[in-house]
Amino acid sequence: MSLQQFVQIRRDLHQIPEPGFQEYKTQRYLLDYIDTLPQERLAIQTWRTGILVKVSGTNPRRMLAWRTDMDGLPIPEETSYPFRSVHEGYMHACGHDMHMAIALGILTHFAHHPLADDLLFIFQPAEEGPGGAKPLMESEAFASWRPDCVFALHIAPEYPVGTIATRPGILFANTSELFIELTGKGGHAAYPHRANDMVVAASHLVTQLQTIVSRNIDPLDSGVITIGRIEGGTKQNIIAEKARIEGTIRTLSLESMKKIKARIEALVQGIETGFACSATIDYGSNYCQVYNDPALTEEFMQWVQEKRDVTFVSCTEAMTGEDFGYFLAEIPGFLFWLGVNTPYGLHHAKIEPDEQAIEVAIRLVTDYLSWKSGQM
């Protein structure tokens, strides 16, 4: 197995980023590659645009699982790559191209050198939205191959190549999208008393939303409300009849998520009364926290610290969201960060992860799963 081939696979996948549940080219590419592997111990199921691959063990007592995500982001690419995205307006800016190449490298190894235990590879669509983990777990395909434990990684721009970071317990936050639409009465800019201005209403609401974390959430807890987009009005001399606010909510506890949503609803009711308008709230996609199984994670951390070719870092929680949390809510496992050493962060149009991390991850995970399968 040439590890360089998985760098090329990453570059191929980088060129075809697709939205959630529209990863048709990506799925075809993955299936075509999987077809080149020894098939004696492989079984394959597709679910929507996702793929499940089972590698039968030589003496199975349980099933281990490795999960990767597949979709891209609606970000116009600004990298210096000669292999930039050919899908205008879309980019693999969160490392899912790296994740898939790593997963194929691990799968390739075990297709030739099967474990004692069964091993399931989960190629999951729609991680960035609307969320593929939860419906995948509810599918008949997944039910037929439900694993006993599940593992995953995510690239980390801030860590050097060769660094592995994780922690027991909560690693990623609970997250929720937030969409609020306000409808009032439009009119001429010269006659504001005859209208209900939704630009003004939206401006008041955005300011009020910023008081929730500072005044309604326990300061020893953590929460973030980010308003990333406001849209309202059509022309400078027309009072806006409609306005739309878009953002996200992130918390480190489910209780704080409930409190924030309750407070948002109360503030929106106040805006309806104060500005004589109507409002709707849509929480869009909601992801539960990524909560690493303490025992499995501690065991992995100790195992990694004995490896001479990688450096382990015990990290803190992050306010990022990941729908891998739905797997961990029902199945023991963990997620860890993989250092890729790039100055640009996740979801940045210029992010260029160091491809040497692909080899690091393939070697590390194949070694870990082999070691894990040998335990009982």
3-state helix, strand, coil in the chain (%, to 5): 35, 25, 40
Residues, the chain = 376
Considering the candidates 18, 23, 69, 323, report the single residue annotated as catalytic.
Answer: 69
The per-residue pLDDT for 2 is 77
Return the amino acid letter for 219: P
**DSSP SS3 for 166:** strand
Q: Give the helix ranges, DSSP H, for the chain.
A: 4-14, 24-34, 96-112, 133-137, 140-144, 198-216, 254-274, 294-305, 325-330, 356-373
Domains in the chain, CATH or no CATH each: 4-171+289-373 (3.40.630.10), 174-286 (3.30.70.360)
Considering the candidates 118, 128, 177, 322, report the single residue annotated as catalytic.
Answer: 128
> How confident is the prediction along the chain (376 residues), in pLDDT tens digits per residue?
678 899 999 999 999 999 999 999 999 999 999 999 999 999 999 999 999 999 999 999 999 999 999 999 999 999 999 999 999 999 999 999 999 999 999 999 999 999 999 999 999 999 998 999 999 999 999 999 999 999 999 999 999 999 999 999 999 999 999 999 999 999 999 999 999 999 999 999 999 999 999 999 999 899 999 999 999 999 999 999 999 999 999 999 999 999 999 999 999 999 999 999 999 999 998 999 999 999 999 999 999 999 999 999 999 999 999 999 999 999 999 999 999 999 999 999 999 999 999 999 999 999 999 999 987 5
Q: How many CA atoms lie within 13 A of 374 on its CB side?
A: 6
> Is-contact 197 240, C-beta < 8 A?
yes
69 assigned to active site? yes
Close Cβ partners of 191 (under 8 Å, ≥ 6 residues apart): none
Kindly tell me the sign of the dihedral angle through the C-alpha atoms of 266, 202, 174, 170: negative
The per-residue pLDDT for 42 is 98
Ramachandran area for residue 280 (φ above 0: left; ψ -120 to 50: alpha; else beta): beta
138 assigned to active site? no
